[in-house]
Structure 1
Amino acid sequence: MNANWYEHYTRWNECESLDPELRQQLTAMHADEKQLADCFSAPISFGTGGMRGVMEPGINRINLYTIRKVSAGLALYLLETYPELTVKKVAIAYDSRKHSQLFAIETAKVLGQYGITTCIFNQLTPTPLLSFAVRHYCACAGVVITASHNPPEYNGYKIYGADGGQITLATAERLMEHIAAAGNELDITPPSEQELYKNGLLHYIDDSLLQAYLEKVQQLRVHPDLSPAIREQVKIVFTPLHGTTHDSITRGLELFGYTQVRVVEEQAVPDPNFSTVASPNPEEPEAFRLAIAYAKQEDADIIMGTDPDGDRLGVLVKNLAGDYVVLTGNQLGALLLHYLLDTKHKKGGLPSNGIVLKTIVTSEMGRAITTDFGVSTEDTLTGFKYIGEKIEAYEKSGAYVFQFGYEESYGYLIGDFVRDKDAVQTALLLADMCAYAKSHQKSLYDAMNDLFSRYGHYAEELVSFTCKGADGMQKISATMASLRNQPPSYIATHPIIAIEDYVSGLRTDCQTRTSTPLTLPATDTIKYFFSDHSWFCVRPSGTEPKIKIYIGVKGTNQCDAQERLAALKQSVLKELGFHTD
C-alpha cells in the first residue's frame, strides 16, 4: 500500500466522530485497496469550476468534510482579500441532488465560524439566480452546490466572484493555497445553524429575490407589445428534468402572458436520482422522451427543458412533417441572436459599439449574423466564465456594450445582471421569440430555415470519448502531444490552411509558415482550419476524463452540410485514432 493514501485512510478510519453514513461506506470498502487508494490518494482537484466528484468517503471525494475544508479555505481567502469590509457576505444556493441542502448549510456554518455573513436560499434554486443574488446583495462571493447534469452519485461546489461570474484561474490558485492551509478537514467543527441565525450571521433568501430577478428579465423583452391573443396561442411543453427551474420558469411564463404551458408532471418534482431519464442533460434527445409525448398530445409549438441546476436550455420545435426535432445549441443561439439584433436594429436600439461573445468552438454562423448588423463578435475560450470575464472588462472600460453571449453546449445569456449562462431568462425570451414568429405566420423551424437561406448552411457536431484511468489519461495526453509535435497537413484530401495552438498561443498559417500571437489565455486546445470554412478543434475536458472533438462545416444546403459534416468527422476520427460504435 502507498503510505501517503494509507495515512489519510487511517486518519479517517480512526476518527470516532466520523459521519455515520460515511462510516458505513468506509467499512463497506475496507477490503478494496484500489478504491481506497483512489478515495484517499490526494485532495480533490479544485479549479475555476470549483470541485466536482462522487459522494463517498475520502479526501478525493465530495463529502461533508471536503465541503467544510473548501469552505474554510474560501473564508480565509475572503478575509485576506476584503480586509476593509466590516461585513463580508456570501450568497449560497443548492440544487436537487442528494445532500445538496446539507452541504449548503455546512458551507454557511463554516463561513459563519469565521465571522462571514451568509445569505442562503430557503429552497432549491437555479444557478443563474445565485449569480444574480451575488450582485443583488453586493456579496463578496457566491457558492452553489451542484453537479449540473452529472450522474446522481455526483455533487459539486462552485464558487462565484463578487461580479457574479465564475472565478478566474488566478483566484482559483489563491483559493487552493488557502484550502491547503485550512488544515485537517476532520477537525473543522462549525457552530450550529441556529446559533449563526441568532447571531445575525445567517439569513434566508425568500421569494422576493425571484421577484426582483423576474422584473429584470421583463426589461429584456424586445417585443413587450405582442398582443395577448398571440401569446395565448403559443403552446409550450416544459420539463425541469427533476431539477430547480420549475417555479422560476412557470412563474416567468405566466408573468409574460403565456397561459398554454404544460409541465411534464413526471419530471416536475425534484428527484436526486433523476428517475425518468438516463441522464438529466438537455443536450441529449433521450431526455425529452416524455416531453415529446406531452407535446404530441397538446400539439405544442415548442418543447423546452433545463438541466438540474438551470443554466442550460434544450429546445425542440415542430418540423413541416409535424415531428419534433432538436435545435442544436448553435442553432438556438443563432435564432436568439438574430431575433435580438434584428428587433433592436428595427427599433433603433442597437448600439454602435455592441458586442456578441461566443466560444472558439461555437458555430461561425453567429459571426455571419453579427457582421450583417455591424456588431462586433469576439471569441473566448471554452467555458462561460470567460464570457463573464469579458462582460465585466467591457463594462468597466466602456469599450463595448454587451448584446448576447452563448456557447454551443446550450448556454446563453441575454441580460448581464447575471454573469453566467441562464436557462431561465433564455426560456422566457424564447417564448416571446416563438410568439413573434407566430405573429408572422411562422414557426421557429421556419425561422431557422430562413437563417440558413440568408447566412449559409452551417452544421456542427461534438464527439466525446471517455478515457478512464491512468491509461485513458495517457491516451489523451499522447493525442494532444501528437497533434502538436506532428500536426497533420491534410485531413483526407483537404489541406489544413491554419492551426491555432492555445498552449503556444500562436496561429500558424500553413501556407506561409508564419505565426501570429493569439490573445486568449493558454489552454490545452488545438483548432484546425480548412479553406472551405470547415474546421475542427480538439481539447481534453476540464471536468471529466474525456477528450472532446468539435467539428464545423458550411454547405450549399442542409443536405450538403450534413454530408460534409459526416465525411469530415469520419476523416478526423480516423486521423486521431478514435472510432465511434
Structure 2
Amino acid sequence: MRYRQLYDQWNNYTDLESIWKENLQFIAKDEKQIEDAFYRDLEFGTGGMRGEIGAGTNRINTYTVRKATTGLASYIKGAGAEAMERGVVIAYDSRRFSPEFAREAANTLASNGIKAYLYMEPRTTPQLSFSVRHLNAFMGIVITASHNPPDYNGYKVYGEDGAQLNLADAEVVIEHVNDAGDALHIDQRNPDKELIIQLDGQLDQAYMDALKTVQENEEFATSSDLKVVFTPLHGASGTTVQHILNEVGYNHIYYVEEQMEPDGEFPTVESPNPEEQSAFEYAILHGEKNDADLLIAVDPDGDRVGIAVKATSGYKLLTGNQTGAILIEYLLSQLKEKGNIPANGRVFKTIVTSDLGRVITEYYGVSTEDVLTGFKFIGEKIKQYEETKEFQFLFGYEESYGYLIKDFARDKDAVQSVLAIVEAAAYYKKQGMTILQVLAQLYERHGYYLEGLQSVTKKGVSGVNAIQNLLKQLRTNTITEIAGISVLSQEDYLHSERTFTDGRETEEIFLPKSNVIKYFLADGSWVCVRPSGTEPKIKYYYGVLSGSEAESSEKLKALQDDFSLKMNQYLID
C-alpha cells in the first residue's frame, strides 16, 4: 500500500520537524487517518490549496507549503528577471501555523532569488490583494483557510492584478508545483535575507485612504445615531475595521472585545463563519446590552461578512443574497440620485447567487453578468472590461457573503463591505426605515426571491469517489422533474452546453469549464449541483420566486426535500 510506504518514509526522515514527527506518532495506530494523510498529494488547484494541518502528503505543513512555493518560484523565474524583482507579497490571517507557513513561503522564494514582501502581523485577504496592486508586485500569496474549522489552513495565489490567479495561469502554476518533486527532499538553500522585505504598517494608511472612497455620503458618519456591534471572530480584520470606522467618524460602534484579538483556536465560537447563527452569539449579547441596530461579523481572513438586524423580537440574520440586494439597492439608488449611473455600468454575480440582484440592477437600468462560482471570475471580468472599456464595474458579489464595491482590491472585501453596510443602515435610519423594511420593499417591488443551500460532507477516498459518482450519474440520467415541477433546461458547465427538454437545439455556454450542473424549472425555480472547491462536500443550491414569503418557503422546502432524496440514491461510497 503506497500510503503506508509514504507514512514510513516521512516517519523515518531524520530531519523531519518535531511538530510533524509528533503528529505521525499520534496517528500511528489509526490506519484510516494514515491513509487519509498519505493517499494522495494535497491538491494544488486553480485557487491554491487548502487542507487539514498535519504531517503527510495530503496535509498542509511546512513541506507541502515549501513544495507549492517551489513550484510557484519556478513559474516566476520562467517569467523573467523583472518578475523576480517585482516579487511576491505574502500575508496571513490568525490561523494555526499561518505565520510559520508565511515565513516558509518567503524563505523559499528568497532561496530562488525572488523578492518577497512579508507582512509581519495578520492582515486581511483584501489588503493582500490591494498590496499586490499598490506595490506593483508580480504575485501574491495569502495563508488562510477562510472560515474552515481550526484544524484547516490554506495557501491562495494571486496574480499581478490583485485577483486570484486566472485559470490559464493557474494551470501552468499547477504543472510547476506537480513537477517540484518530493516535498521532503526539496533543496532549501539558505535564503537571501535581503530579498525578504518586512511589511509592518507601511501600507495600512494607503489601504485606509482607498477604503474612504467607498463612501457615497461621507456626512452620514459623524451625524448618524446608528448603533453597530462588530466582531472579527478572532480573525485578522479587527484592527483594520476599528481604524477605518474611527477615521471616517462613526460614534456608536461597539466591539466584541472577547473576539477582537486574532486567535486561530477561535475559542468563543463553534465556527468562525458569519453565515451561521452561532457565530453571532457574543454579538447578540453586546447588541442587546447596547440596544444596537445592526450586528456585523467578519470571517477570519476578512473577506466575508454577515449581518444581523434588530427586529421586533431579537435580531434577524440576513442571508448573503439579502445583504447583496441591500447593497445593490443602496449603491445604485445613490448613484441615480446624483446622476452618476454610467451607461455601461455592470454588476457581477455568480451562477448560484439570487436573481433578486439582477432585477434590482435592471430597475436602475444597469446590466448584470453571471460568472462561475468563485470571486476569481469576477476579478477576471473586472480586468477584462478595464482593458476593453466595454463595461464599467459597479459591484460584484456572491451568495456566500462576499462583496466588492470598489476595485482597488480584486477579491471580495469585507472591510469595504462593512463601511458600505454601515453607511446604508445609517442612511435608511435617517429615512425612518430599518434594513428589514427596505428588504420588504424590495420583495414587494420585485417578488419574493428565496434561496437555500444543502451541503453533504463525504470525507476520504470513498467520499471523493461518491461525489464523482453522483455527478457522473447526473450526466447519465436526465432529470425531468423536481418536486413535481418540470425541468425546462439543464446547463452543464463541464461540457459547456445548455440542453432543453422540449427538443430545442443544444446551445453553447460561454463560461470556463467547471464540474457544475444547473437545472431550470417551469415555475422559474432553479437547482444547482456543485462540489466544494475547498472542502470534501457536495453542495445543492436552490432558488425560488413567488408573491409571498410563505409561498416561497413552501416551494423551497419541497424542492430541497425531493432533490436531496433523489441525490441520495447516487451518493454512494
With normalisation by structure 1, the TM-score equals 0.95
**Structure 2 residue identity aligned to 1:318:** K
* Corresponding residue number in structure 2 for 1:305: 297
Cα deviation, 1:270-324, whole Å, max 9, x if unaligned, reads 22111111111001111101111110111101000011011100000012x1420
Distance in 1 (alpha carbons) for counterparts of 2:83 and 2:301: 31
Distance in 2 (alpha carbons) for counterparts of 1:187 and 1:502: 39
8 Å Cα contact 2:77-2:84 kept in structure 1: no
Residue 25 of structure 1 is aligned with which of 23, 26, 39? 23
Query: Within 5 Å, which residues of 2 pair with 1:331-370?
Result: 331-370=322-361
Distance in 2 (alpha carbons) for counterparts of 1:43 and 1:187: 15
Find out whether 1:449 has 2:447 as its counterpart: no
Find out whether 1:234 has 2:226 as its counterpart: yes
- Pairwise CA distance, 1:204: 1.6
**SS state of the match for residue 522, structure 1?**
coil
Would the alpha carbon gap of residues 474 and 65 (structure 1) be closer, same or farther in structure 2, given more than 3 Å must change?
closer
* Corresponding residue number in structure 2 for 1:540: 531
Distance in 1 (alpha carbons) for counterparts of 2:220 and 2:253: 18
Query: Within 5 Å, which residues of 2 pair with 1:34-113?
Result: 34-85=32-83, 87-113=85-111
Distance in 2 (alpha carbons) for counterparts of 1:360 and 1:94: 29
* Corresponding residue number in structure 1 for 2:236: 244
- Pairwise CA distance, 1:203: 1.1
Would the alpha carbon gap of residues 375 and 119 (structure 1) be closer, same or farther in structure 2, given more than 3 Å must change?
same
Find out whether 1:391 has 2:385 as its counterpart: no
Query: Within 5 Å, which residues of 2 pair with 1:270-285?
Result: 270-285=262-277
* Corresponding residue number in structure 1 for 2:459: 468
8 Å Cα contact 2:50-2:155 kept in structure 1: yes
Identical residues among aligned pairs (%): 45
Distance in 2 (alpha carbons) for counterparts of 1:294 and 1:366: 31
* Corresponding residue number in structure 1 for 2:113: 115
Distance in 1 (alpha carbons) for counterparts of 2:184 and 2:473: 44
Distance in 2 (alpha carbons) for counterparts of 1:504 and 1:64: 37
Residue 408 of structure 1 is aligned with which of 395, 399, 416? 399
**SS state of the match for residue 220, structure 1?**
coil
Distance in 1 (alpha carbons) for counterparts of 2:390 and 2:113: 39
* Corresponding residue number in structure 2 for 1:180: 178
8 Å Cα contact 2:111-2:189 kept in structure 1: yes
- Pairwise CA distance, 1:7: 3.9
Cα deviation, 1:226-255, whole Å, max 9, x if unaligned, reads 37222xx01010111011010111111111
**SS state of the match for residue 139, structure 1?**
coil
Cα deviation, 1:367-392, whole Å, max 9, x if unaligned, reads 10111111111000111111111111
Moved more, 79-88 or 512-521: 79-88
Distance in 1 (alpha carbons) for counterparts of 2:452 and 2:558: 12
8 Å Cα contact 1:235-1:300 kept in structure 2: yes
**Structure 2 residue identity aligned to 1:493:** G
Distance in 2 (alpha carbons) for counterparts of 1:298 and 1:266: 16
**SS state of the match for residue 203, structure 2?**
helix
**Structure 1 residue identity aligned to 2:286:** Y
8 Å Cα contact 1:540-1:547 kept in structure 2: yes
* Corresponding residue number in structure 1 for 2:6: 8
With normalisation by structure 2, the TM-score equals 0.96
Would the alpha carbon gap of residues 415 and 172 (structure 1) be closer, same or farther in structure 2, given more than 3 Å must change?
same
8 Å Cα contact 1:314-1:410 kept in structure 2: yes
Residue 378 of structure 1 is aligned with which of 366, 369, 378? 369
8 Å Cα contact 2:84-2:113 kept in structure 1: no
**Structure 1 residue identity aligned to 2:427:** Y
Would the alpha carbon gap of residues 237 and 122 (structure 1) be closer, same or farther in structure 2, given more than 3 Å must change?
same
8 Å Cα contact 1:130-1:142 kept in structure 2: yes
Distance in 2 (alpha carbons) for counterparts of 1:82 and 1:530: 51
- Pairwise CA distance, 1:207: 1.9
8 Å Cα contact 1:496-1:531 kept in structure 2: yes
* Corresponding residue number in structure 1 for 2:522: 531
**Structure 2 residue identity aligned to 1:133:** S
- Pairwise CA distance, 1:172: 2.4
Moved more, 14-23 or 299-308: 14-23
5+ long unaligned stretches in structure 1:
none
Find out whether 1:213 has 2:225 as its counterpart: no
Would the alpha carbon gap of residues 471 and 109 (structure 1) be closer, same or farther in structure 2, given more than 3 Å must change?
closer
Distance in 1 (alpha carbons) for counterparts of 2:392 and 2:441: 27
- Pairwise CA distance, 1:490: 1.6
**SS state of the match for residue 58, structure 1?**
coil
Would the alpha carbon gap of residues 79 and 86 (structure 1) be closer, same or farther in structure 2, given more than 3 Å must change?
closer
**Structure 2 residue identity aligned to 1:72:** T
Would the alpha carbon gap of residues 498 and 416 (structure 1) be closer, same or farther in structure 2, given more than 3 Å must change?
same
Distance in 1 (alpha carbons) for counterparts of 2:303 and 2:321: 16
Moved more, 479-488 or 46-55: 479-488
Would the alpha carbon gap of residues 565 and 379 (structure 1) be closer, same or farther in structure 2, given more than 3 Å must change?
same
* Corresponding residue number in structure 1 for 2:156: 158
Cα deviation, 1:207-226, whole Å, max 9, x if unaligned, reads 23121111112112111233
8 Å Cα contact 1:306-1:313 kept in structure 2: yes
Distance in 2 (alpha carbons) for counterparts of 1:185 and 1:568: 46
**SS state of the match for residue 572, structure 1?**
helix
**SS state of the match for residue 237, structure 1?**
strand
**Structure 1 residue identity aligned to 2:106:** A
**Structure 2 residue identity aligned to 1:80:** G
Distance in 2 (alpha carbons) for counterparts of 1:500 and 1:40: 36
Would the alpha carbon gap of residues 279 and 165 (structure 1) be closer, same or farther in structure 2, given more than 3 Å must change?
same
Distance in 1 (alpha carbons) for counterparts of 2:541 and 2:426: 33
Residue 417 of structure 1 is aligned with which of 372, 390, 408? 408
Moved more, 554-563 or 333-342: 554-563
Moved more, 131-140 or 561-570: 561-570
Moved more, 166-175 or 135-144: 166-175
Moved more, 426-435 or 202-211: 202-211
Cα deviation, 1:501-537, whole Å, max 9, x if unaligned, reads 1122111222243221111111111111123221111
**SS state of the match for residue 107, structure 2?**
helix
8 Å Cα contact 1:241-1:267 kept in structure 2: yes
8 Å Cα contact 1:500-1:528 kept in structure 2: yes
- Pairwise CA distance, 1:11: 3.0
- Pairwise CA distance, 1:499: 1.2
Find out whether 1:575 has 2:566 as its counterpart: yes
* Corresponding residue number in structure 1 for 2:146: 148
8 Å Cα contact 1:46-1:172 kept in structure 2: no
8 Å Cα contact 2:221-2:423 kept in structure 1: no
**SS state of the match for residue 560, structure 2?**
helix
- Pairwise CA distance, 1:83: 4.0
- Pairwise CA distance, 1:31: 3.5
Cα deviation, 1:37-82, whole Å, max 9, x if unaligned, reads 3322332101122111111111221111111111111111101023
- Pairwise CA distance, 1:86: 6.3
Find out whether 1:484 has 2:482 as its counterpart: no
Cα deviation, 1:104-129, whole Å, max 9, x if unaligned, reads 01111110011111111121011110
**SS state of the match for residue 553, structure 1?**
strand
* Corresponding residue number in structure 2 for 1:431: 422
Find out whether 1:552 has 2:530 as its counterpart: no
Moved more, 127-136 or 469-478: 469-478
8 Å Cα contact 1:47-1:169 kept in structure 2: no
Distance in 2 (alpha carbons) for counterparts of 1:327 and 1:227: 23
Distance in 1 (alpha carbons) for counterparts of 2:134 and 2:223: 35
* Corresponding residue number in structure 2 for 1:135: 133
**Structure 1 residue identity aligned to 2:245:** L
